[in-house]
Amino acid sequence: MKKTPSKRLSEKFLDISSKIQSWNPIERNGWMIKFSIFNNKHILLFFVSTYTGQTIIREFESELDAIRFINQVVELDPQYGQKI
């Protein structure tokens, strides 16, 4: 029996979601921060300003680079649009 495109997408989604670890968002200095790790290698960071809704998404392979970026973002003023 031939697999339908939606069946293949569902299998792909389940495969990817089984390789993701995620934690509840935290708030720091007006930024909501969400951490996820994919495949025990890639660190995915989501930042959302609680004032403007500006969203910043970044992926890192190095934990040190991810920490540096987190520190850089939380020092920015979340009430104004930031260019990073």
In a domain, 9, yes or no: no
In a domain, 14, yes or no: no
pLDDT attached to residue 64? 96
- Determine the structural domain holding residue 30 and report its residue range: 21-84
Nearest to 33 by CA among 24, 25, 21: 25
Cβ-proximal residues to 13 (8 Å cutoff; 6+ apart), any chain: none
Task: Name the domain count of the chain.
Answer: 1
With 0-12 / 13-18 / 19 or more C-beta atoms within 10 angstroms meaning exposed / middle / buried, residue 3 is exposed
In a domain, 25, yes or no: yes
- Which CATH number does the domain housing residue 56 bear? 3.30.67
Task: Round to whole Å and give the CA distance between 64 and 70.
Answer: 10
In a domain, 80, yes or no: yes
Please state the separation of Cα 27 from the chain's center in Å: 14
Task: Kindly report, residue by residue over 22-70, the tens digit of the pLDDT.
Answer: 999 999 999 999 999 998 889 999 999 999 999 999 999 999 999 999 9
